[in-house]
Amino acid sequence: MFDFSTITQWVDELLRSFLPHAAATLVEFILIGLCLLVGYAVIALVLIYVERKVCAFFQCRIGPNRVGPYGTIQSVADMIKMLTKEIIDINHVDRFLFNLAPFVVIIASVLAFGCIPFAKGLHVIDFNVGIFFLIAVSSIGIVGILLAGWASNNKYSLIGAMRSGAQMISYELSIGLSILTVVVFTGSMQLSTIVEGQADGWLLFKGHIPACIAFIVYIIAGTAETNRGPFDLPEADSELTAGYHTEYSGMHFGFFYLAEYLNMFVVASVASTLFLGGWMPLHVPGWESFNQIMDYIPSIFWFFGKTAVVIFIIMWFKWTFPRLRIDQLLRLEWRYLLPINLINLFLMVIIVVFKLHF
């Protein structure tokens, strides 16, 4: 299987051959930042188009079909429209916090995006507390949402922000415990180590029942964490107009819109990394010929294929189930998901301690 670290090492050696150490490092930082931003924008545009098509499929419609072949350039046209729209000045707002909020949300999303191992040897950040770092930076986004609701000086925005704060803080517990279940099984918080540990079988298959329960709970909690239906209470159009970003316009609104889709991609990427082997091919112990054929498929295709399946499941949720009430949403977490997760974590500890796994 191709290792992308050979390309990154070649670029590093090339830069250091004619630049000083500090200058080469600075250029590498800039290149990595540009690659992240370009990947961020492209993935967001693709997901917006895919969501429109999936929504149309579930509602027996066609979806985008005018701009470009099969409407493929519709998202690009919307991006250009968003970039050229005027940012309207709102009276009676806290201007500093109002303008800061979308940048806090987008920075948290980009930091989490940078933690993902996209392929073998293709990751920006990979250290021994990668899981801890991922959970920490992904939690920053709620600060931007609360700032947006408070600084807007709008009762609908404030209610949406308060709902989002209660929802995200609650469901972060289930996400954290589901991830902790994987950490207990693998014995590592380094994402590359967790992926490589699934070479002989994905965790969803070899982690027994606790891994399956953790995966299901993670998908539910991850959908709620990204404020997507049926957990889209903070943006309930029929109740709160547009929730915490009601007063935003132009590119500021675009930042919130992009962050929602990239957060969905991050949630799906982490699910595929922890439970479905990440970029690791499907290997079956004892089937050497089959395993060799699977190794011919590039690791980046494996990663994006698994992530696409999880994203489709999350979209399926949104366009199938009706929106919950806020009391139902919080009851689901505190009365059901959290106790199930705690018991499930205890079961995984027993399996690991007594070596009951494969």
| pLDDT digits 0-9 by tens, 262-301 | 989 999 999 999 999 888 888 887 788 888 888 888 889 9
27 located within any domain = no
**Contact (CB, 8 A) for 197 and 235:** no
Instruction: Give pLDDT, residue 216.
Output: 94
Q: Percent of the chain beyond pLDDT 70?
A: 97
Query: 303 in helix, strand or coil?
Result: helix
Does pLDDT of 214 surpass 90?
yes
For residue 25, being part of any structural domain is answered with: no
Per-residue pLDDT of 43-77, as tens digits, reads 989 999 999 999 999 888 888 888 888 888 998 99
pLDDT value of position 282: 85
Domain annotation covers residue 8 = no
Peptide bond into 210 cis (omega under 30): no
Q: pLDDT of 163-212, one tens digit each?
A: 888 888 889 899 999 999 999 998 888 998 899 888 888 888 887 889 99
Torsion from C-alpha of 300, 303, 308, 313, nearest 10 degrees: 180
pLDDT for 239 equals 60
**Cα distances (angstroms) measured from residue 206 to each of 178, 193, 210, 211, 220:** 16, 16, 10, 8, 21
pLDDT value of residue 347: 92
In a domain, 301, yes or no: yes
> Do residues 188 and 128 lie in contact, with contact meaning Cβ atoms separated by under 8 Å?
yes
With respect to residue 309, please indicate whether it lies within any of the assigned structural domains. Answer: yes
Look at residue 63 and tell me if it is in a domain: no
Domains in the chain, number: 1
Give residue-wise pLDDT tens across range 130-162.
899 998 988 888 888 889 888 888 888 888 888
Structural domain span for residue 221:
86-353
Q: Contact 204/212 with Cβ under 8 angstroms?
A: yes
HSE, CB side, 13 Å, CA atoms: give it for residue 306: 27
Question: For residues 346 and 94, which has the higher predicted lDDT (pLDDT)?
Answer: 346
Residue 173 lies in a domain: yes
pLDDT computed for residue 213 by the predictor: 94
The pLDDT of residue 46: 92
| Local confidence band at 236 (pLDDT 50, 70, 90 cut-offs) | low
CA angle 64, 260, 137 (to 5 degrees): 155
Domain contains 295: yes
291-314 per-position pLDDT tens digit: 888 888 888 999 999 999 999 999
